[in-house]
Structure 1
Amino acid sequence: MSSTIFDDVFRTMVEKMPYLAVPLINEVFDTSYPKNVEITQLRNEHQQENGEVITDCCLKIGGKLYHIECQSMDDTTMAIRMIEYDFAIAIENVQKEGRRYRMELPRSCVLYLRSGSNTPDFLEVEIVLYDESVLLYRVPTIKLETYTKDKIFEKDLLMLLPFYIMRYEKDIHEISENPRLFQQLLNQYEEIRRNLEDELSKAGKSKWYMDLNKLIIKISDYICQNEEKVRKGVGDIMGGKVLELESERLERIHREAMAKATAEAEMRGEARGEIKGEAKGEERLSALINRLILNGRNAEVQLVTTDKEFRQRLYKEYGI
């Protein structure tokens, strides 16, 4: 099976930060393992006669085997692949009791980074035995799109954070072109950065903070590779660069425009707040400048403070 950037990032977290998998296991299997529970990482390569089977994550916790696959697309063959993986894991961990073997399948789940309306909550395979009795092989799924950033931190599912940008994958171009949406995304990632730093500092895992940041940026760079503005914005925030956020930039433009308009009015001997010769004065101009900035019409901000005819036309356009 060929590896992808998503597989690489997921396996990196499991290998370097295995305890991040514990809350995910608790979420899926309704267990309550503490963060410091003892974890044994089992090998992911399972040799079979017809070739090697490579799984994403296989852990032993509390005497139980857990198998998690990270899937970037909704593959309709995933149920068959999962039962193949699980049998390979079970055979390698089989126990012999006299002449009888006991083979326990791992508790398995699939993490879908992308999903749709047809993505099932469970993957199922009916196994028909020689006597016609039927066993149901059933694997739960977990879908990234159902987890907001608040829910991720509430449930301590930090393992999902590198893939969080994929929730907005279809809207990346629109976000890049829309200042309001772009600002909202930057605000979310600034909050993610702060919360992540707080969570891992409290847990004494400061190194994980840097490692997770790098993985968040790696996936963001990949998803946003054709949208430089979004890629750079998320990368700078998660990389720790002190940015002038979009909201701060817009506020600065607004403040500078109002200061210049007021100064020009004073030079003409006009009273503050009467610069437009309108009853609403400065408040009306402020509202107009805000609307222009929010609509990405920054180039017109300066003109609106000096051209009365143009200003009046925009008042009518925006109904101010």
Structure 2
Amino acid sequence: MSNYGTPYDDSFRTLLTDCKRLIVPLVNEMFGENWQETENVELYQNEVFITTGADEKRITDSNFTIGNSRRYHIECQSSVDGTMTVRIFEYSTQIAITTAESDVSKTVFTMPASGILYLRCNDSTPDSHEIVVNTPGGTVSYKIPIVKIKDYSLDDMLSKKLFFLIPFYFFNYSLEKMEKDHALIEDMKNTYLKLWDQLESLVQQGKISEFEKSAIKAMCDKVAQSLTNKYDNVKEGVDSVMGGEILDYEAKRIRNESRNESNIEAVYNMLVANVDESVVQRMYPEQFEAGKKRFVSSKHVNV
């Protein structure tokens, strides 16, 4: 019930924020939808306030719309938790409150389509949870679909375009067995080396971008590093095959630098066009000084 996420929550949110189109096939798989990957995905605030005697802020794993219409809410859960359904309902109702529509006679609360991604589960974990709400006007019930990582091989993830799930595949390994068996560590390493080749092939085919490939690899590393903290032999194998990618991965840094350079160029061009400096500064506060410096330098050169 903590407000602070695990490394797995962080990986889920990071991948959703940086590569949001990758969530679309997971939504289709989880909810039986048929969205195209080109549909617009809009992310919304994921902080909600729950009143339990005192106001408490919690962070949902996702709150987004696809196609500027239907809203979704997916929670990433590392293990089966008896309180999960209650938390799903708490988050969903808070989202419904923020999107409520009212007129003089009525208020409409629209619940998002909610689902759970279980990273670990057992044989008794159902394929869905049911929420039943008894209201003065009658009883309402609906299903919360569940996707379980253990049900998907890497080939499944690749063939179904469930690239969003790839970083969490490492949960399918028995680390206790692997720690004692070097052959299992070698099998794991070969599996990921093959995966990197497959991801590169997808880039060459134009099915994912170079940035998305780097993001997936970085989150694979983050999840694996967190899971192997107590397993020295496995961790050594992970280090050798994943290359120590970090959350603020290189591709993200390059992309941000590219955007920054583009904005500096925009400042420069606007000043050349005699746009008022105060207007330019309001539009690009972080890049204004660098853009102005380039503009001033160019005037001196021209002189």
Q: TM-score range by the shorter chain?
A: 0.7 to 0.9
CA distance in 1, matches of 2:224, 2:87: 28
**Structure 2 regions of 5+ residues with no counterpart?**
246-303
Query: For 1:3-82, what aligned pairs fall within 5 Å after superposition?
Result: 3-49=5-51, 50-62=55-67, 63-82=69-88
Q: What is aligned with 1:162?
A: 167
Q: TM-score, normalised by structure 2?
A: 0.73
CA distance in 1, matches of 2:130, 2:44: 25
Q: Is the 8 A contact 1:59 1:66 kept in 2?
A: yes
Candidates 126, 149, 157, aligned match of 1:152:
157
Could you say if the C-alpha distance between residues 14 and 93 of structure 1 is closer, same or farther in structure 2, counting changes exceeding 3 Å? same
Secondary structure at the aligned position of 1:191 is classed as helix
Q: CA RMSD in A?
A: 2.0
CA distance in 2, matches of 1:196, 1:232: 23
Candidates 109, 116, 124, aligned match of 1:110:
116
Q: TM-score, normalised by structure 1?
A: 0.70
Q: What is aligned with 2:278?
A: none
- The Cα of 1:99 is off from its aligned counterpart by 2.4
CA distance in 1, matches of 2:181, 2:49: 51
Q: Is the 8 A contact 1:193 1:238 kept in 2?
A: no
- The code of the aligned residue for 1:28 comes to M
- The code of the aligned residue for 2:222 comes to K
CA distance in 2, matches of 1:161, 1:30: 20
Per-residue Cα deviation, 1:185-236 (whole angstroms, up to 9, x for no partner):
1221112111122224423510222222121111111111222332232332
Bigger RCO (CA 8 Å, 6+ sep):
2
- The Cα of 1:164 is off from its aligned counterpart by 1.1
Of stretches 230-239 and 56-65 in structure 1, the one that deviates more from structure 2 is 230-239
Alignment partner of 1:87 is 2:93: yes
Q: Is the 8 A contact 2:221 2:244 kept in 1?
A: no
CA distance in 2, matches of 1:167, 1:223: 11
Alignment partner of 1:189 is 2:189: no
Q: What is aligned with 2:232?
A: 228
Candidates 141, 144, 148, aligned match of 1:139:
144
CA distance in 1, matches of 2:10, 2:244: 23
Of stretches 80-89 and 29-38 in structure 1, the one that deviates more from structure 2 is 29-38
Q: What is aligned with 1:297?
A: none
CA distance in 2, matches of 1:13, 1:211: 7
Structure whose CA Rg is larger:
1
- The Cα of 1:240 is off from its aligned counterpart by 9.3
Q: Is the 8 A contact 1:44 1:54 kept in 2?
A: yes
Could you say if the C-alpha distance between residues 19 and 235 of structure 1 is closer, same or farther in structure 2, counting changes exceeding 3 Å? farther
Could you say if the C-alpha distance between residues 43 and 200 of structure 1 is closer, same or farther in structure 2, counting changes exceeding 3 Å? farther
